Amino acid sequence: MSQTPDNAVRQYIDQHSDTFLDDLKEWLRIPSVSAQPEHADDVRRSADWLTGKLKETGFPVTEVWETAGAPAVFAEWPSEDPAAPTVLVYGHHDVQPAALADGWDTEPFEPVIKGKQLYARGAADDKGQVFFHTLGVRAHLAATGRSTPAVHLKLLIEGEEESGSPNFRTLIEQHRGRLAADAVIVSDTGMWSETTPTVCTGMRGLVECELSVCGPDQDIHSGSFGGAVPNPATVVGRIVAALHDGQGRVAIPGFYDGIVELTDRERKLFAELPFDEQEWLRTAKSYAAHGEQGYSTLERIWARPTAEVNGIGGGYQGAGGKTVVPAAAFVKLSFRIVAGQDPARVEAAITQWVEAQLPAGVRHTLTFSGATRPCLTPLDHPALEAVARAMGRAFEQPVRFTREGGSGPAADLQDVLESPVLFLGISVPSDGWHAPNEKVELDLLTKGVEAAAYLWTDLAESLRT
């Protein structure tokens, strides 16, 4: 694994970092909050600004792509080598809502550098991590003497990620041909810490459903009828309890069918990470680790499927008590799934299991909402090795591997484009994504530029073989 930095790359970055930061700050001043309709114009302004900047960077093709919601930005810079592989970079130009009153020390849309940190909404999630590709590709060209990148480079920067990417799948299905790539680089994740650079190798998928159980036609008196008719809140409680077995495994028959188990190498690499469970619990604002037996906390959140109750309700909700048998109760469940699990198969298993749990005399509805597939790149995939080498050169040390417990549009890219998905991110947990005082570490941002500059040559080689 090469860890040799390239002086030409570093020099180029040094020379251009002031302009790079000025530009990024200009972009961060646009409050492109996709979840707030009053910022719709700002999201569009952000797309236009980015399009202009990518053109300036040298991308011969820059386009604003409309969706049913906020616009995305597409850019393309073909390699002069027609045989070069194609790489698509994914990120987003919209941001989470933010207001000074939420607890920010400075205006969230007035970027400010304090010491070695740049504070602004979007500094890390995701404008900073999108933007490092602009200086990255220029440094790649400068250091290699090329006039076009070593790969056919494409960028797709969506505008609705912070609103749940409602139109993303439609967008990429619509532009499937133009987005075709041999690999996808997702620039919207982070690393373990400042001192432990890592590459993420996959994300969990997600299946969500809501179960409603109806008993009596209306709330009935528990004195007159209690104990003699089915209580839908009891039924829902029993289903919640039956979700897991005594070992903390999901007890739905067929749920684990086909899953890709952790390899010994992955378990070993996870175990070597400097994980402090007490500190993790503080971040989780929780008071005990708890979950599937036989797996560590990192394995549980990164690599194991789960069943979680997100919401439950039914019957009397006011203060004090009310002696009723409730007419209805509900539970909202989400299942994280891992590589090898198919959302449709998981949904079928859940449906069959729920129906088997219900006693006579209750009616139910079970509604699934849009599922997300898991994605995982094997540790020995050549493209992943190239990403790890690029990060290793930037950080001058071997990188380690992580996964993400969450679920995201990366899976749609993997699914629709049928390409391996790699993750290149330099954000750290303290960056405060979605929180007040979001920031990016300037040193790490520079490492991101550097890694992006190293990546294309190496990846062109890796994907060609």
* CA dihedral angle for residue 380, residue 386, residue 387, residue 390, rounded to 10 degrees: 140
- Smallest separation, CB 136 to a second copy (Å): 28
Site string for a second copy, 354-393 (x = CB under 8 A): -----xxxxx-----x------------------------
The one of Zn ion, a second copy, none whose footprint includes residue 311, by CB under 5 to 8 A per kind, is a second copy
Which of 98, 191, 243, 349: binder of a second copy (CB under 8 A)? Answer: 243
The one of a second copy, Zn ion, none whose footprint includes residue 5, by CB under 5 to 8 A per kind, is none
Site string for a second copy, 403-432 (x = CB under 8 A): -xxxx-------------------------
Positions in 168-207 near Zn ion (CB under 5 A): 188
Q: Is residue 304 within 8 Å of residue 273, measured between CB atoms?
A: no
Which of 99, 180, 242, 259: binder of a second copy (CB under 8 A)? Answer: 242
- Smallest separation, CB 225 to a second copy (Å): 5
Positions in 446-465 near a second copy (CB under 8 A): none
Please, which contacts does 175-179 make with residues 24 or more away whose CB atoms are closer than 8 Å?
Answer: 175/65, 175/74, 176/416, 176/417, 178/74, 178/76, 178/154, 179/74, 179/88, 179/154, 179/416, 179/417
- Smallest separation, CB 245 to a second copy (Å): 12
- Encoding tokens for residue 245? 């077995």
**Neighbouring-strand partners of residue 61:** 76
- CA–chain centroid gap for 273, Å, is 21
The one of a second copy, Zn ion, none whose footprint includes residue 325, by CB under 5 to 8 A per kind, is a second copy
Q: Which is nearest to 455 in space by CA: 78, 9, 7, 80?
A: 9
- Smallest separation, CB 164 to a second copy (Å): 10
| Residue 41 or 277 having the CB closest to a second copy | 277
Residue 323 contacts a second copy per CB under 8 A: yes
Burial class of residue 265 (count of CB atoms within 10 Å of its CB; 0-12, 13-18, 19+):
exposed
| Residue 317 or 465 having the CB closest to a second copy | 317
| Residue 233 or 460 having the CB closest to a second copy | 233
- Smallest separation, CB 92 to Zn ion (Å): 6
Look up residue 85 and give its amino acid.
P
413 Cβ neighbours under 8 A, 6+ residues apart = 88, 90, 172, 184, 186, 419, 421
Cα distance between residue 273 and residue 260, in whole Å: 22
| Residue 115 or 321 having the CB closest to a second copy | 321
Residue 23 contacts Zn ion per CB under 5 A: no
DSSP state of 116: T
The one of a second copy, Zn ion, none whose footprint includes residue 217, by CB under 5 to 8 A per kind, is a second copy
Cα distance between residue 361 and residue 461, in whole Å: 64
How many residues are given for the chain?
Answer: 465
The one of Zn ion, a second copy, none whose footprint includes residue 125, by CB under 5 to 8 A per kind, is Zn ion
| Residue 147 or 224 having the CB closest to a second copy | 224
Residue 115 contacts a second copy per CB under 8 A: no
Residue 48 contacts a second copy per CB under 8 A: no
Residue 332 contacts a second copy per CB under 8 A: yes
SS3 category, 246: coil
Positions in 270-329 near Zn ion (CB under 5 A): none
- Smallest separation, CB 288 to Zn ion (Å): 30
Cα distance between residue 255 and residue 259, in whole Å: 9
SS3 category, 238: helix
Q: Is residue 92 within 8 Å of residue 131, measured between CB atoms?
A: no
The one of Zn ion, a second copy, none whose footprint includes residue 206, by CB under 5 to 8 A per kind, is a second copy
- Encoding tokens for residue 235? 């039924």
| Residue 159 or 305 having the CB closest to a second copy | 305
- Smallest separation, CB 25 to a second copy (Å): 29
Which of 64, 142, 240, 259: binder of a second copy (CB under 8 A)? Answer: 240
Cα distance between residue 288 and residue 277, in whole Å: 9
- Encoding tokens for residue 221? 């008196």
Residue 206 contacts a second copy per CB under 8 A: yes
Residue 259 contacts a second copy per CB under 8 A: no
Strands lying side by side in the sheet with 112-114: 112-114, 117-119, 439-441
Positions in 273-312 near a second copy (CB under 8 A): 281, 284-292, 297, 300-301, 304-306, 308-312
SS3 category, 402: strand
Positions in 52-91 near a second copy (CB under 8 A): none
Cα distance between residue 137 and residue 454, in whole Å: 9
- Smallest separation, CB 88 to a second copy (Å): 23
Q: Which is nearest to 377 in space by CA: 240, 218, 199?
A: 199
Site string for Zn ion, 124-153 (x = CB under 5 A): -xx---------------------------
Residue 204 contacts a second copy per CB under 8 A: yes
Cα distance between residue 388 and residue 7, in whole Å: 19
Cα distance between residue 366 and residue 319, in whole Å: 29
Residues that bind Zn ion (CB under 5 A): 125-126, 188
